[in-house]
Copies of this chain bind each other. A is one copy, B any other.
Amino acid sequence: MSGTDVPEAAREEVARAVREALAKHGYAGLTTSKVAAESDKSEAFFFYHYDTKRDLVVAFLDWATGWAESRLADAKSHPDPVYRLYAAVDCLLGDPADPHDRGVYVAVMELLSHAPHDEAFHERLSTYERGLIDDLAGVVRDGVEAGAFRPVDPEATAAYLVVTADGTAGAVMALGMADVGASVRDRTFDYIDRVVLADGVERPADVRA
């Protein structure tokens, strides 16, 4: 089985347990027992619904994709496209001081490194990255259409911002280089200020930088 017959609440719990186990042990050191140890559910539950370590990780990836999308959706609910862009990029950059964010970023980075050898990871991670870029490109396009942004290329700008945020998984999240994280956040917001916003448009005062 691959967990598709598991109720949604249980799938959420599985994804949470896999994330905790990945953060502690990495993919290389992951076992079903270690995932079960992070959960109230029994080992038998995990072995019944998720035959293999890969099934568990695919469940995690499906959850992570939804999680990133729902965070971006929250950011995108604001009526002002200028605010939406800063909020979406803030989401993408994550919080290096939050063990949850660090765990997810480092786990996704590890799985990305396996993508060249694993078709199921490759497919889900490609969907994940493309989804982030498409979502952010939509935010950029709204701002261009509203005249709040310069006529930048929405897809290229979104790809650039998403890849920069992806890059924080290594130096910032895995190695804990806090000064690098602060610089990247500062320079990324400065990039939006200088290159994306139309003349006369300013960064909203309540955006955390």
Contacts and interface: CB of A to CB of B under 8 A. Distances in A.
Nearest to A125: B175
A133 interface: yes
Contacts of A187: 156-157, 159-160
Interface in A1-50: 23, 25-29
Interface stretch (A58-66, A68-76, A114-122, A198-206): A114-122
Interface residues of A, number: 55
Query: Which residue among A28, A117, A125, A164 has the maximum number of chain B CB atoms within 10 Å of its CB?
Result: A164
A106 to B, nearest CB: 5
A95 interface: no
A109 B113 contact: yes
Contact of A194 (B126, B153, B194): B194
Contacts of A110: 110, 113-114
A98 interface: no
Q: Is the interface of A mostly helix, strand, loop or mixed?
A: helix
Contact of A170 (B28, B133, B166, B179): B166
Contacts of A108: 170
A169 interface: yes
A186 B157 CA distance: 10
B180 A163 contact: yes
A118 to B, nearest CB: 9
Contacts of A133: 180
A209 B191 CA distance: 19
Contact of A167 (B117, B167, B177): B167
